[in-house]
């Protein structure tokens, strides 16, 4: 009996020793892991993927892109695209001849339709040329049409119908009215910013370039991206949305030659409000680069504290040449725009405006409170081929590496590391 007790004691002792050694091993393993996390940070912190409720994200994406707009003819050389409900008026984005469109013998009439009502509310169309365009006597211009009604209504109309008054058999055109319900916007408009992206049909920019564009501007605080004419990016937008990015796509079948930037910019301002309080139109090869600030919203608030005096900020554009050698310090894994740090100071590239649409009257032309932003504070970097004359020297270009301030955080971005499989 005593032998069995001694054997049992030996077995218990061996099990205790093995358990102690296992505990000792796991303890040091856990301690090592904690030390690594303490030094490098948690993996989720490095990914920097946006954290957003899936329902809120879906509401934002659909809120920007629905109902789907499309350019349709409304008369001889008159076209309309989209309609918005603003301040008891329906605002319509349109284009037409530069001389006399939507006025005089080309005057239009309108009526708006409420849900569940059999009779429309009559209105009168007032047309104004979209601000910022060069005055011209021939060609085409962008217009803002306002369907003005006398009756105050408390609900958002469903549709607007317009037609030319002089036509004996008028061809009435009806558009659905877009209205982003602020209750579903998912946040404070003052702390959000949207970029409307111009079509890139001529440049054919790659999917990875779109991902880099979204990743970089998300790092600077941009919350929403609206791609005009970006149908071939649907699969990329879907992957970005899965990682929490608000990316919407709407058609842009502009009926005339040119990109229709004035009309697109006008649509963008109305489409984003009231979900976002800061809106800008960019191409996929344009990047806003602050010199001192780490975020765009903080920069705008410093320039106009209290959001009282400015309805748009105007940034100069600098042309960075993609057909000159890369910066010697650039790493191969960096996105292309981080490789190019020399720009052509003689290039004429225009300006880019960031709008605060809540400060802009939508139904009549007004003088906008414009804040010209110095390039020492921020500028828009545009990456494209430069026309380099044979006699040009290195002194013809200026070195501007400010964008590389963000390369470390950008390379840790979870969005930048998205892999998009080719469509099959």
pLDDT value at 44 more than 60: no
Q: Measured between alpha carbons, how far is 309 from 304 in angstroms, rounded to an integer?
A: 7
Residue from 99, 98, 268, 295 nearest 180 by CA: 268
Which range marks the domain in which residue 96 is found? Answer: 72-178
Of 152, 178, 204, the last residue of a domain is 178
| Residue 59 token pair | 């509401």
In a domain, 62, yes or no: no
Same-domain pairing of 201 and 265: yes
| pLDDT tens string 233-274 | 888 888 898 888 999 999 999 999 888 999 999 999 999 888
410 backbone dihedrals φ, ψ, rounded to 5°: -65, -40
Contact assessment for residue 285 and residue 385, using Cβ atoms and an 8 Å cutoff? no
Number of domains in the chain: 2
In a domain, 198, yes or no: yes
Same-domain pairing of 226 and 321: yes
Burial 16-34 (b: 16+ CB within 10 A, else e): eeeeeeeeeeeeeeeeeee
Same-domain pairing of 342 and 206: yes
For residue 322, what are the CA distances in angstroms to 110, 341, 343? 49, 9, 9
Q: Tell me the mean pLDDT in the region 194-219.
A: 87
Q: Measured between alpha carbons, how far is 94 from 143 in angstroms, rounded to an integer?
A: 5
pLDDT value at 67 more than 70: yes
In a domain, 10, yes or no: no
Q: Measured between alpha carbons, how far is 85 from 115 in angstroms, rounded to an integer?
A: 14
Same-domain pairing of 267 and 166: no
pLDDT value at 30 more than 60: no
Q: What is the CATH number of the domain that holds 230?
A: 3.90.550
Q: Which residue has the higher pLDDT, 157 or 46?
A: 157
Can you count the helices (H) and strands (E) in the chain? 8, 19
Cis amide prior to 177 (ω within 30 degrees): no
In a domain, 254, yes or no: yes
| pLDDT tens string 116-147 | 899 999 999 999 999 888 877 788 999 999 99
């Amino acid at each position: 009996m005593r032998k069995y007790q001694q054997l049992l004691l030996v077995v218990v002792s061996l099990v205790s020793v093995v358990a102690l050694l296992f505990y000792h091993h796991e303890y040091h393993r856990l301690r090592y892991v904690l030390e690594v996390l303490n030094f490098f940070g948690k993996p989720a912190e490095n990914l920097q993927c946006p954290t957003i409720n899936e329902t809120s994200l879906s509401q934002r994406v659909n809120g920007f892109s629905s109902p789907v707009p499309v350019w349709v003819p409304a008369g001889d050389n008159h076209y309309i695209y989209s309609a918005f409900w603003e301040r008891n008026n329906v605002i319509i984005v349109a284009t037409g001849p530069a001389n006399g469109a939507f006025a005089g013998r080309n005057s239009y009439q309108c009526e708006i339709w409420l849900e569940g009502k059999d009779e429309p509310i009559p209105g009168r169309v007032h047309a104004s040329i979209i601000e910022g365009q060069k005055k011209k006597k021939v060609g085409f211009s962008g217009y803002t049409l306002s369907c003005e009604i006398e009756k105050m209504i408390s609900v958002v109309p469903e549709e607007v119908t317009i037609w030319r008054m002089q036509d004996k058999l008028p061809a009435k055109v009806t558009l659905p009215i877009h209205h982003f319900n602020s209750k579903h916007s998912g946040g404070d408009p003052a702390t959000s910013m949207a970029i409307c992206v111009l079509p890139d049909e001529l440049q054919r920019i790659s999917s990875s370039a779109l991902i880099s564009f979204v990743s970089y501007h998300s790092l600077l605080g941009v919350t929403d991206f609206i791609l005009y004419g970006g149908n071939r990016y649907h699969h990329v937008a879907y992957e970005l949305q899965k990682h929490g990015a608000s990316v919407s796509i709407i058609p842009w079948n502009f009926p005339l030659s040119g990109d229709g930037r004035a009309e697109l910019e006008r649509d963008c301002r109305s489409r984003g409000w009231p979900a976002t309080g800061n809106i800008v139109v960019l191409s996929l090869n344009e990047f806003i680069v602050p010199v001192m600030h780490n975020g765009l919203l903080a920069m705008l608030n410093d320039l106009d504290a209290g959001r009282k005096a400015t309805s748009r900020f105007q940034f100069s554009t600098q042309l960075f040449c993609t057909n000159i050698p890369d910066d010697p310090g650039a790493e191969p894994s960096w996105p292309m725009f981080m490789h190019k740090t020399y720009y052509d100071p003689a290039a004429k590239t225009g300006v880019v405006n960031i709008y605060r649409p809540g400060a802009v009257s939508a139904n009549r032309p007004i003088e906008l409170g414009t804040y010209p932003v110095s390039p020492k504070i921020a500028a828009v970097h545009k990456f494209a081929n430069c026309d380099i004359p044979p006699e040009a020297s290195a002194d013809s270009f200026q070195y501007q590496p400010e964008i590389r301030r963000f390369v470390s955080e950008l390379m840790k971005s979870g969005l930048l590391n998205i892999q998009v499989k080719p469509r099959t």
